[in-house]
Amino acid sequence: MTKRLFKDKGDAVKCRVFLNTLSGSAQKWFDGLPHGSITCFSDFKIVFLRHFASSMKYQKTDHFLFALKQGSSELLRSYIKHFNQVVQDVPSATSKILMSAFSHGLTEGEFFRDLIRNPVRNFDEMLEKAASYIKVEKAQTAHRKADKPPPSTN
């Protein structure tokens, strides 16, 4: 840090404290800065954020949920798993938003029709209802496998 010139002693302290948090590529980046290029903490902050902006993790919004669609041959269990992974990145989503986005992305099928005929009160209830349809999917998959003739071993 001694190779940097600071006008304000408070800025020098802020920079030293911040530098103690750097490691790996961030430390290499800092070491590669030209001598005297950082004269205050504000400059340091701007240059650092500009350089590492692409590494920042941005919080997803409800719109990400509405972009999710169940594939035409995707099992309900797989769609729920993918949907719930994205939900973890959208902490602002309410139960009503989750229900709306989830049903919006469903393919038209028995589960979709059941949700329209018999609406649920919240997202947890929707997932409970989905569980019974997942059991049917598993049974159908097992039934199809059992009906397939074994491959010939000629």
Is 2 a residue whose pLDDT tops 60?
Answer: no
Q: Return the higher-pLDDT residue of 48 and 151.
A: 48
> For the whole prediction, is pTM greater than 0.75?
no
Residue 9 tokens, joined? 């002693």
Residue, of 143 and 86, whose pLDDT is higher: 86
Mean pLDDT of the chain: 84
pLDDT the model gives residue 143: 80
Between 34 and 70, whose confidence is greater? 70
- Please state whether 151 falls in left (phi above 0), alpha (psi between -120 and 50) or beta: beta
Closest to 40 in 3D by CA, of 7, 75, 73: 7
Q: Which of 13, 10, 73 is nearest to 1 (CA)?
A: 13
What is the residue-wise DSSP string for 43-92? HHHHHHHHHHGGGPPPPP-HHHHHT----TT--HHHHHHHHHHHHTT-TT
* Residue partners of 82: CB distance under 8 A and separation at least 6: 68
What is the rounded radius of gyration, in angstroms, for the C-alpha atoms of the chain?
27
* pLDDT, tens digit, 9 for 90 and up, residues 38-53: 777 887 888 888 887 7
First to last CA, the chain: 74
pLDDT attached to residue 92:
86
CB count, 10 Å around CB of 112? 15
Residue 131 has pLDDT above 90, yes or no: yes
Task: Please determine, for residue 84, whether its predicted confidence score (pLDDT) is greater than 90.
Answer: yes
CA distance 80 to 89: 15
pLDDT in tens, 95-113: 999 999 999 999 999 999 9
pLDDT tens per residue across span 133-145: 999 888 888 888 8
